[in-house]
Amino acid sequence: MFTGIIETIGTITDIVKDKDNLHITLTSGITPELKIDQSVAHNGICLTVVSIDNNQYTVTAIKETIEKTNIGLWRISDMINLERALKLGDRLDGHIVQGHVDQTATCINTESANGSTYFTFEYDKSLENITIEKGSITVNGVSLTVVNSGINTFSVAIIPYTMEHTNFKTLKTGSIVNLEFDVIGKYVAKYQSLKT
């Protein structure tokens, strides 16, 4: 369980393909505090730490994860949003995030506006995921509030602090991001579909 509040940014130092898996090695400020078998969200993807070597650690992504997320597009030197799992009793400053990416989206517009930056994303509506205005959405692991909601598009407003402390500063038109839709909304939508 995560909250979508990014702790730090990690940098990819190595990517190794092993059959259908990818072994990804990163360096970050939280590496000394990590343990093997620990869950860490990487751009919103819950991955398990499988090895630690000094200031670097490695996680493994399986075929399903590669197919459903943007992880196959990651390259050495990419900056990745990191968040460790929530401790029981911690404040839930963002919203309930599972670390299970529902699908990817494409950034179709960025716009500066009075100190904030608006990002608009488009996603495949055939998977029947939805957003609502003022609802929660997780983009690359960041808990955000939906500003404008369309049938298969939505916008979010990024304040300067979030821009500086996440990899939103690297996004541009055409960038592919991971989306996790609000878990409560998904249950409601599923319930409604079963009633019809």
94 pLDDT exceeds 90? no
Find the mean pLDDT for residues 1-28: 97
The pLDDT assigned to 195 comes to 73
Distance CA 159, CA 163 (A): 6
Overall size of the chain counted in residues: 196
Min mean pLDDT across 55-64, 92-101, 129-138 is at 92-101
CATH entry 2.40.30.20 includes domain 8-84 = yes
pTM over 0.95: no
Find the mean pLDDT for residues 100-124: 96
Q: Which fold is adopted by the domain 103-195?
A: Elongation Factor Tu (Ef-tu); domain 3 (2.40.30)
| Nearest residue to 144 (alpha-carbon basis) of 80, 86, 97 | 97
- Categorize the per-residue pLDDT at 192 as very low, low, confident or very high, splitting at 50, 70 and 90: confident
pLDDT tens sequence across 122-135: 999 998 899 999 99
196 pLDDT exceeds 70? no
| 8-84 and 103-195 in the same fold | yes
* Structural element, H or E, at residue 75: none
Percentage of the chain surpassing pLDDT 90?
A: 83
Burial of 143 (0-12, 13-18, 19+ CB in 10 A): buried
Secondary structure percentages of the chain, helix, strand, coil, to 5: 20, 45, 35
- Domain boundaries defined on the chain: 8-84, 103-195
- Side chain identity, residue 167: N
Question: In this structure, what are the phi and psi dihedrals at residue 140, rounded to the nearest 5 degrees?
Answer: 50, 35
Contact 33, 117 (CB under 8 A): no
Find the mean pLDDT for residues 18-43: 97
